[in-house]
Amino acid sequence: MSPTLNRRRAAAAVLTAALLVPALAACGSDDKKADAAAPTASAFASAGAKPANLTVLAASSLTDVFKTAGAAYEKTHPGTKITFSFAGSQELAAQVKQGAPADALVTADTKTMDGLRAETDDASIIAKNRLVIATGKGNPFKVAGLKDLADTKIKVVLAAPEVPVGRYGKQILDAQKIEVKPVSQEPNVRAVLSKVELGEADAGLVYKTDSAKSADKVATVDIPDDQNAVASYPAATLKQSKNAEAAAAFVAWLSTPEAQKILQDAGFQKP
């Protein structure tokens, strides 16, 4: 049997067990139907995936929320330890192609994940995000929209075009025919945000979730939906993983109501 088929069966087993637990509970008592309506982390814990030390490569914009999600997962999966490695999606892709030891991958765009089909199992979208303009605290330059970023008096920082948030940024600026000359192009969204937080730039295009996390250090200017781009976050297990079942269980868990609540509480949108 192929390793890929093994992983798919492992993921299917995890999901099936998770769905069966609440269904059986519902049969026992009408009063418990509401509580048994959706699979929980405890259901996944009983699905049979062996404890393991997992390494998950994840996009920089997931840094804060995945720390919370990882802690929640470990709590309900005794013996499992998750170590995250955060970087720009293009950096993560390079690590995968170089054979870096890891078990799962979550990128900030489908293009990067699609380019790794030979190294990953089937991917699923776990969340979505949108771009905003982050400015210095109090928005001293009174930035009101994308067109203001063309003002040469404003120091704008963007992510490099090979980075998902940089590619999304270029896409929306080009669509509005707005030419921006950034003072720098950064390797990931957290680096863009850091430049604005430190006053090394007056404005930058970042994800809504990153700007919200730094609300005490930056101001946020929303971009209208018809001028914006939607970032999708696919997750997949890596074929090179030595912990196939445990990796498949974690990736499957990211789509459960428990994990989705953590993501959405952090400002991410539904898949």
Residue 269 has pLDDT above 70, yes or no: yes
Q: Which pLDDT does position 50 carry in this prediction?
A: 84
pLDDT, tens digit (0-9, with 9 covering 90-100), for 84-133:
999 999 999 999 999 999 999 999 999 999 999 999 999 999 999 999 99
pLDDT (tens digit per residue) in 139-170: 999 999 999 999 999 999 999 999 999 999 99
The residue whose two tokens read 């959405």 is: 264
Provide the CA 130 distance to its chain's centre, in angstroms.
12
**What is the C-alpha to C-alpha distance for residues 201 and 197, in angstroms, rounded to an integer?**
8
**Once rounded to an integer, what is the mean pLDDT over residues 42-70?**
82
* 176-208 residue pLDDT tens: 999 999 999 999 999 999 999 999 999 999 999
SS3 string of the chain? CCHHHHHHHHHHHHHHHHHHHHHHHHHHCHHHCCCCCCCCHHHHHCCCCCCCEEEEEEEHHHHHHHHHHHHHHHHHCCCCEEEEEEECHHHHHHHHHCCCCCCEEECCCHHHHHCCCCCECCCEEEEEEEEEEEEECCCCCCCCCHHHHHCCCCCEEEECCCCHHHHHHHHHHHHCCCCCCCCEEECCHHHHHHHHHCCCCCEEEEEHHHHHHCCCCEEEEECCHHHCCEEEEEEEEECCCCCHHHHHHHHHHCCCHHHHHHHHHCCCECC
- pLDDT at residue 142, rounded to an integer: 97
Burial category of 64 from C-beta neighbours within 10 Å (exposed 0-12, middle 13-18, buried 19 and up): middle
- Burial class for 101, CB neighbours closer than 10 Å (0-12, 13-18, 19+): exposed
β-bridge partners, 130: 230
pLDDT at res. 7: 53
Residue 105 exposed, middle or buried by CB count within 10 Å (0-12, 13-18, 19+)? buried
The predicted-structure confidence for 58-89, as pLDDT tens digits, reads as follows: 999 999 999 999 999 999 999 999 999 999 99
Evaluate if residue 37 carries a pLDDT over 70. Answer: no
CB-neighbour burial class of residue 89 (10 A; exposed 0-12, middle 13-18, buried 19+): buried
- pLDDT attached to residue 9: 52
211-227 confidence digits (pLDDT tens): 999 999 999 999 999 99
Would you state the pLDDT for residue 48?
Answer: 56
Q: Tell me the percentage of the chain whose pLDDT exceeds 70.
A: 82
Task: Work out the end-to-end distance of the chain between its first and last CA atoms, rounded to an integer number of angstroms.
Answer: 32
Q: Which CATH class is domain 129-230?
A: alpha beta
Among residues 209, 95, 98, the alpha carbon closest in space to that of 106 is found at 95
Q: Which residues pair with 56 in a beta bridge?
A: 84, 104
Residues of the chain with CATH 3.40.190.10: 3-128+232-265, 129-230
Confidence of residue 18 (pLDDT cuts 50, 70, 90): very low
Fold of 3-128+232-265: D-Maltodextrin-Binding Protein; domain 2 (3.40.190)
